[in-house]
Amino acid sequence: MASHSRVNSQHVSEPALREAAERSYEYLHTMEDRNVAPNAAALAALEHFHEPFPENPSDPVEVVNMLDKFGAPATAATTGGRYFGFVIGGTLPASLAASWLANTWDQNAALRVMAPVAAELEEVVLKWVCEALGLPSDCDGGLVTCATTANFTALATARHALLSRLGWNVAEDGMFGAPPIQVVVGQEVHASVLKALNLAGFGSKRVTVVEADEQGRMRADKLPRLDRSTIVCIQAGNVNSGSFDPAREICLRAREQASWVHVDGAFGLWAAASPKYKDLVAGFELADSWAMDAHKWPNINYDSGIVLVRDAMALRSAMTISAAYLQPGTRREPMHHAPEASRRARGIELWAGLKSLGRSGLANLIERTCAHAQRFAAGLREAGFEILNEVVINQVLVSFGSSERTLEVIRRIQEEGTCWCSGTVWRGRTAMRISVSSWATSSADVERSLAAMLRIARETPA
Ligand SMILES: *Cc1c(COP(=O)(O)O)cnc(C)c1O
């Protein structure tokens, strides 16, 4: 009976899967030639999806066809080599392929008994990440959607741990009436940390803001008095300049006072995987918790965030969920290490991507993308345009003159379609931000994109 029903469902699913695979290959093959941003016609065609909820079923193959026909052209080509907007990684071949398999398995990674392979691979990748980044080997952690959730998980854990040391059980008694916690952030704190603080009940305005230097690094000499009811949020990799806060100095001071240091290392922390860049990250291993994204620099497919906590018990206490039917086993259960219960098995794709790279491949990915960023900076500077940041890793900030002209150049670059970059404001100045985060970017992509940027910039009236 069991084998009979398996044959049946296979029979039903196979044509749609084959269709999806064919359409995927086609998408990958045409990536090179298409504009990075979807054109107006592609965006207008999305209108086809706006129909009343269909009365009757559709054939799965037709569903896939329709999705590909109107969906694929309306994607931003972020998996190609010439997307430099925000901080967006591509998708490594092994992790893309693993996601097909993992989606076929459709495992719920909440509990080991529901998804043994997912629970196991989650443990493996958490260890690998600690090893690769030089973080304490006895850290525990969780796999979450993104750095925002990783920041939230870590800050909720810090809240739980600090209040517990002060004799307050926040899980049971909540935040009202709890001893006050001082939260310290840098002037250049990422907006996601402020959102995480607001979700965790700290209030994004109720923070002490520490001045930053001209690269956006927190000034350690401007830290307020720290104590055992303080959380200090520092940053590895400023989203604009790529700069790193002086972690060693801050962590050592925080340790003396038993404060908690949390690191937002969404992409920058991965620089630790490269022998050439790991000095930038020195000192961050002294912190208490870390948030990062695997979907950025390591190029694991979306979504893939990681939270790590030095005090494994603290994470477990803050994130645990108990019910009679969730029998606590003696082994690690994914759902007790993150806010989510049911979730996709992100560990599978993360394992596949990291396994395919190995330590040298990950280091090479970091170094290659940093070298591409250097090339962009040099090419733009030679042409007379101002680079606003010290290009320490993969982020380049360029001004094309006045704010209006820079915005117009960005608009034209986005419209022209060779490459795609986003705009930002850096220390009061409008800039175009180039983030080289994809494994797929080749030197040819860089030269082609640079030539397009320079041509468009020259054509744009001052
Ligand atoms: C991208 C980024 C985040 C937020 O990441 P999400 O994955 O979008 O939640 C947080 N901090 C820094 C420094 C980032 O670069």
Total residues found in the chain within this entry? 462
Round the CA-based radius of gyration of the chain to a whole number and report it.
24
Residue 87 Cβ inside 6 Å of ligand 1? The answer reads yes
Which ligand 1 atom is the nearest neighbour of the CA of 235? 13
Exposed, middle or buried, 115 (CB in 10 Å: 0-12/13-18/19+)?
Answer: buried
Residue 239 Cβ inside 6 Å of ligand 1? The answer reads yes
Sheet holding 140-144, edge to edge: 140-144, 305-309, 289-293, 260-264, 230-235, 182-186, 208-210
Going from the Cα of 421 to the center of ligand 1, the distance in angstroms, rounded, reads 17
Going from the Cα of 224 to the center of ligand 1, the distance in angstroms, rounded, reads 26
Segments of the chain with pLDDT less than 50: 1-3
Residue 266 Cβ inside 6 Å of ligand 1? The answer reads yes
Q: Distance from CA of residue 388 to its chain's centroid?
A: 24
212, 136 Cβ separation under 8 angstroms: no
Q: Report the relative pairing of strands 230-235 and 182-186 from DSSP bridges.
A: parallel
Residue 186 Cβ inside 6 Å of ligand 1? The answer reads no
Ligand 1 atom 15, closest CA: 239
Q: Is 429 helix (H, G, I), strand (E, B) or coil?
A: strand
What is the number of other CB atoms lying within 10 angstroms of the CB of residue 121?
24
Which ligand 1 atom is the nearest neighbour of the CA of 239? 15
The pLDDT assigned to 7 comes to: 53
Going from the Cα of 37 to the center of ligand 1, the distance in angstroms, rounded, reads 22
State the first-to-last Cα distance of the chain, in angstroms, to the nearest integer. Answer: 75
Going from the Cα of 233 to the center of ligand 1, the distance in angstroms, rounded, reads 14
Exposed, middle or buried, 125 (CB in 10 Å: 0-12/13-18/19+)?
Answer: buried
Residue 350 Cβ inside 6 Å of ligand 1? The answer reads no
The CA distance from 236 to 234, in Å, is: 7
Residue 349 Cβ inside 6 Å of ligand 1? The answer reads no
Residue 148 Cβ inside 6 Å of ligand 1? The answer reads yes
Q: pTM here?
A: 0.96
Residue 190 Cβ inside 6 Å of ligand 1? The answer reads yes
Beta strand spans in 98-146 (E): 140-144
The pLDDT assigned to 328 comes to: 59
Going from the Cα of 293 to the center of ligand 1, the distance in angstroms, rounded, reads 7
Going from the Cα of 298 to the center of ligand 1, the distance in angstroms, rounded, reads 14
